[in-house]
Amino acid sequence: MGDRMYIIIVGAGKVGWNLARELLEKEHEVTVIENNRNRYLTVEQELEHVVQYGDASELWVLERAGIQRADLVIAVTGDDEDNMLICQVAREKYMCERIIARVNNPRNREYFELLGIKPWVSATDLILRLIEHEVPEYGLVHLLDFPEERLEIIEMLLEDNSKVAGRRVGDLQMPEGSLLISVLREGRGFVPGPETVLEAGDEVLAVLDPGSEEDLKEFFAPDGANGAAGRRGS
């Protein structure tokens, strides 16, 4: 992983504990802060001095853990307000540039955004994405979002009677704000040229401006149908 970092993990639940273990293996310096005494004692048996007991939303606890020199603060407690506050304080009071916050309730995502706390990670969202990926009926899979750059990458399966099957890429009038970047066919991926002819069963990757998902879905959809499901991608 390159340079050795000093990483503070708040919350020694399953996520925090395993993260600590992995990061220590990668030879980073790690401190875990846990505010449940019993949990702390359990985790301390393995991680020893790496874990500290205390409520990380108390500033002195963060300072005792050395937040002033932390390269990265990861807040993975089971409480969204705690995660938000810890990340906000880490960045705005202690000038820690890199933070990662866990979102427990996906409905709280917009609050993380509102308070400028990012990146955030939500297990529920990740699993939803996986379901979308595993269940092609949904039509469109979000692969990557770059909210900052206002771009996203999506994947779509061309169905048997897709309007674009059998057509040359060079002849396609892609919807505005979208670009075809890759075709996956029979387990192989390649970058299409103008002469590439799309086939039913191809999976196509496209980069697009957020908001043009529906146009793109309609563009690749089977003739006469409005996509397999009228569901939005995100």
Partner 1 sequence: MFVLVIGAGRVGSSTARALLQDGHEVSCLDEDPESHARLEVELDGSWEDNGGHFTVGTALEIDALTEAGVERADVFIAATDGDNTNIIISQIAKRRFNVPTVIARVLDPYRAEWYQKQGLHTICPTKVAIEMLTLDVRQAAEKADGNGASPQKAAEPAE
Positions in the binding site for partner 1 (CB under 8 A): 57-60, 79-82, 84-85, 89, 92-93, 105, 107-108, 111, 114-115
Q: Report in angstroms how near the CB of residue 34 gets to partner 1 at its nearest.
A: 16
User: Strands 188-190, 178-185: parallel, antiparallel or unpaired by DSSP?
Assistant: antiparallel
Q: Report in angstroms how near the CB of residue 90 gets to partner 1 at its nearest.
A: 12
The dihedral of CA 25, 31, 33, 39: what is its sign? Answer: positive
Task: Give buried/exposed letters for 188-204 (b at 16+ CB in 10 A, else e).
Answer: eeeebeeebebeeebeb
Alpha helices by DSSP H, the chain: 14-25, 37-47, 59-64, 80-92, 109-114, 123-134, 213-220
Q: In this complex, which beta carbon is closest to partner 1, that of residue 104 or of residue 182? A: 104
Closest CA to 158 of 100, 196, 198: 198
Q: Report in angstroms how near the CB of residue 50 gets to partner 1 at its nearest.
A: 24
Q: In this complex, which beta carbon is closest to partner 1, that of residue 89 or of residue 208? A: 89
Q: Report in angstroms how near the CB of residue 85 gets to partner 1 at its nearest.
A: 4
Q: Report in angstroms how near the CB of residue 114 gets to partner 1 at its nearest.
A: 6
- Spatial neighbors of 36 by CB under 8 A, at least 6 apart, are none
Q: In this complex, which beta carbon is closest to partner 1, that of residue 103 or of residue 157? A: 103
Name the CA dihedral angle for 78, 84, 86, 90, rounded to a multiple of 10 degrees: 140
Q: In this complex, which beta carbon is closest to partner 1, that of residue 105 or of residue 161? A: 105
Q: In this complex, which beta carbon is closest to partner 1, that of residue 46 or of residue 81? A: 81
